[in-house]
């Protein structure tokens, strides 16, 4: 046989063998996802921690509505809803839904869950988002009505934080959800080795689309490079909070891919009440700090282009976003003049608390170091304090900080962040301003689209000038994944187990 024919034949046989192997290769029955930190609690009403929410929402806990693939709200535990009047919404529940302990989903369960989070005594960190709900009424076993304080255009967005829990289990033992996660989601938690792994198994009585994988394992891997290394080694199949510098590396590797989901606003919060540091109560000081920080350096050098500068704390898709506004420019001279006008020509000292990787933030340490350096150049001496997530949240809700780094993710009905973070009657932790309250109320009461845009523009400019934060940037959330893993695209960062699949 001629040499060329032998070679061609061998290549054909090899190709056929590889093709047969690929055809016969069964998809895995379980996948592993690497996240920056462990969950904080199994009780969804006990924490607002980002990783906890990302892990538990994608598996165990559900809400009345969820976000569709195009950013619209679609039915989840509610099959339909309607507005009865400006203050009353009615939700019809999905039939034949079971909690993981066998309890049925009823209107009583919805009322119990929302009331539990709204009760100040329970210190639910999601109360701020849900506080617009004045009352929850059971109409019949499968119907609830939610009455709001006034007209409130963003109720479906608020309900994305209203996780429904099994009432009988909690009424029997108030600490039940600290011992075992009990939701209606597509996966149930069967093992939690703190700091090591969480194991979820497919819930066979789930009402909706069943996940392809029998088990989903979450592994906390705090170091971002170690997370990516685990992906490249095939130890995990999906990694969250991926460092920007690894994007080209994973893109070039035929065994890996990169996914972007949503945006996350990164900001430096300030105690604008002045309780913990008097200078921060002066709007001129807060504006000076915005002029002092070079956002272009943060975006182009540290985030390597995987972000855009933020404008006044509002996402561009929010109704009323004022396109005439621009990010605060880097202007140290103007910053020094404003500080001098406020009586702080010699600057002052301030403490900035942060958690590396908190809520999916990328390059957190490098970001705060750059911010501290810029503020130092105008005379503001920054002491950086790195913390663990649980301790950070205790201090945050305890109103202990002068400055802190935090984030907020996008949502289709953008704007809840203004109400939650800046309105005196929601969190009201580090900023209170009656004019801001008035403008926020007007924005959320505007059910007519044109009016909502007009009131949004006024509010956006007001917050921009008030500068309750150092507005940094909107970061694209980066995920590394096995090339064979498929993931239904939605405009948010939650990893719903039934959205994942496998294709060789």
Q: pLDDT tens digit string along 263-296?
A: 889 999 999 999 999 999 999 999 999 999 999 9
User: Are 425 and 441 in contact, with CB atoms under 8 Å apart?
Assistant: no
Rounded to an integer, the average pLDDT of 61-69 is: 93
d(CA 441, CA 498): 37
Provide mean pLDDT across the span 68-85.
90
The pLDDT of residue 2 is 47
Looking at residue 14, what is its pLDDT? 39
Rounded Cα gap, residues 308 and 302, in angstroms: 12
C-alpha span between 31 and 61 (Å, rounded):
20
Task: Report the pLDDT averaged over residues 346-361.
Answer: 92
Is the separation of the CB atoms in 330 and 293 below 8 Å? yes
Q: Would you state the pLDDT for residue 25?
A: 60
Looking up tokens 């004019």 gives: 435
* Residue 9: band (very low, low, confident or very high) from pLDDT cuts 50, 70, 90: very low
The predicted pLDDT at position 412 comes to: 56
Q: Is the dihedral of CA 414, 418, 423, 429 positive or negative?
A: positive
Least confident among 22-31, 136-145, 283-292, 474-483:
22-31
**Predicted confidence (pLDDT) at residue 246 exceeds the cutoff of 80:** yes
Rounded average pLDDT over 304-331: 92
pLDDT of residue 413: 58
Average pLDDT over residues 423-427: 83
CB atoms within 10 A of CB 141: 14
- Token digits of residue 241: 């909070």
Please tell me the least confidently modeled range out of 82-86, 108-112, 328-332, 459-463.
Answer: 82-86
Can you give the pLDDT at residue 17? 44
Q: Helix, strand, coil % (nearest 5) of the chain?
A: 35, 25, 40
Which tens digits make up the pLDDT trace of 177-230? 999 999 999 999 999 999 999 999 999 999 999 999 999 999 999 998 999 999
Q: Is the pLDDT of residue 16 over 60?
A: no
Look over the chain and give the mean of its residue pLDDT values, rounded to a whole number: 91
Tokens coding 432: 């209170």
> Residue 22: what pLDDT?
45
With a threshold of 0.85, does the pTM exceed it? no
Cβ atoms of 310 and 406 within 8 Å: the answer is no
pLDDT value of position 358: 86
Helix (H) or strand (E) holding 79: strand 78-85
Identify the weakest region by mean pLDDT among 38-47, 278-287, 421-430.
Answer: 421-430
The per-residue pLDDT for range 80-126, each reduced to its tens digit, is 999 899 899 999 999 999 999 999 999 999 999 999 999 999 989 88
What's residue 410's pLDDT? 63
Report the percentage of the chain scoring pLDDT > 90: 73
Summarised one tens digit per residue, pLDDT across range 114-169 is 999 999 999 898 887 788 899 999 999 999 999 998 888 888 888 988 999 999 99
| Residue 415: pLDDT band with limits 50, 70, 90 | confident
pLDDT at position 50, please? 84
Distance, CA of 438 to CA of 493 (rounded, Å): 31
Question: What is the per-residue pLDDT for 280?
Answer: 98
Please answer whether residues 452 and 153 qualify as being in contact, where contact means their C-beta atoms are separated by less than 8 angstroms.
yes
Listing DSSP states for 184-225 in one string gives SSSEEEEEEETTTEEEEEE-TT-SSPPPS-SEEEEEE---HH
């Amino acid at each position: 046989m001629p040499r060329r024919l032998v070679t061609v034949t061998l290549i054909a046989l090899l190709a056929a063998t590889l093709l047969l192997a690929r055809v016969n290769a069964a998809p895995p029955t379980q996948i592993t996802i690497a996240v920056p930190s462990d969950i904080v609690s199994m009780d969804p009403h006990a924490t607002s921690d980002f990783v906890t929410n990302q892990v538990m929402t994608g598996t165990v806990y559900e809400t009345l509505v969820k976000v569709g693939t195009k950013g619209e709200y679609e039915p989840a535990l509610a099959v339909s809803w309607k507005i009865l009047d400006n203050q009353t919404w009615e939700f019809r529940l999905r039939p034949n839904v079971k909690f993981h302990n066998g309890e049925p989903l009823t209107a009583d369960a919805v009322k119990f869950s929302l009331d539990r989070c709204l009760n100040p005594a329970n210190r639910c960190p999601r109360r701020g988002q849900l506080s617009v709900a004045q009352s929850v009424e059971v109409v019949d076993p499968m119907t609830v009505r939610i009455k709001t304080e006034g007209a409130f255009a963003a109720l479906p967005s608020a309900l994305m934080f209203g996780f429904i829990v099994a009432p009988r289990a909690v009424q029997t033992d108030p600490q039940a959800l600290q011992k075992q996660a009990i939701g209606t989601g597509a996966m149930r938690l069967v093992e939690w080795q703190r700091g090591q792994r969480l194991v979820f198994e497919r819930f066979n009585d789930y009402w909706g689309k069943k996940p392809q994988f029998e088990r989903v394992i979450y592994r906390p891997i705090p170091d971002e490079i170690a997370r990516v290394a685990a992906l490249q080694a095939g130890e995990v199949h999906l990694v969250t909070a991926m460092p920007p510098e690894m994007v080209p590396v994973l893109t070039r590797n035929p065994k890996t891919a990169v996914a972007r989901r949503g945006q996350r606003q990164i900001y430096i919060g300030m105690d604008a009440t002045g309780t913990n540091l008097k200078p921060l109560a002066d709007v001129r000081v807060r504006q000076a700090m915005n002029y002092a920080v070079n956002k272009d350096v943060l975006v182009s050098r540290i985030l390597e282009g995987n972000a855009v500068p933020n404008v006044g704390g509002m996402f561009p898709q929010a109704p009323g976003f004022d396109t005439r506004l621009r990010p605060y420019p880097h202007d140290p001279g103007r910053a020094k003049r404003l500080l001098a006008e406020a009586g702080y020509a010699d600057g002052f000292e301030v403490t900035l608390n942060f958690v590396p990787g908190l809520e999916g933030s990328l390059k957190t340490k490098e970001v705060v170091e750059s911010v501290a350096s810029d503020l130092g150049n105008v005379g503001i001496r920054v002491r950086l304090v790195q913390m663990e997530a649980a301790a950070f949240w205790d201090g945050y809700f305890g109103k202990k900080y002068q400055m802190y780094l935090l984030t907020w993710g996008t949502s289709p009905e953008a704007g809840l962040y203004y109400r939650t973070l800046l309105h005196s009657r929601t969190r009201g932790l580090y900023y209170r301003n009656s004019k801001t309250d008035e403008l926020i109320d007007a924005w959320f009461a505007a059910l007519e689209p044109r009016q909502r845009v007009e009131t949004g523009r006024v509010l956006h400019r007001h917050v921009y000038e008030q500068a309750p934060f150092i507005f940094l940037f909107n970061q694209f959330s980066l995920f590394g994944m096995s090339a064979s893993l498929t993931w239904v695209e939605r405009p948010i960062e939650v990893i719903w187990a039934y959205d994942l699949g496998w294709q060789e």
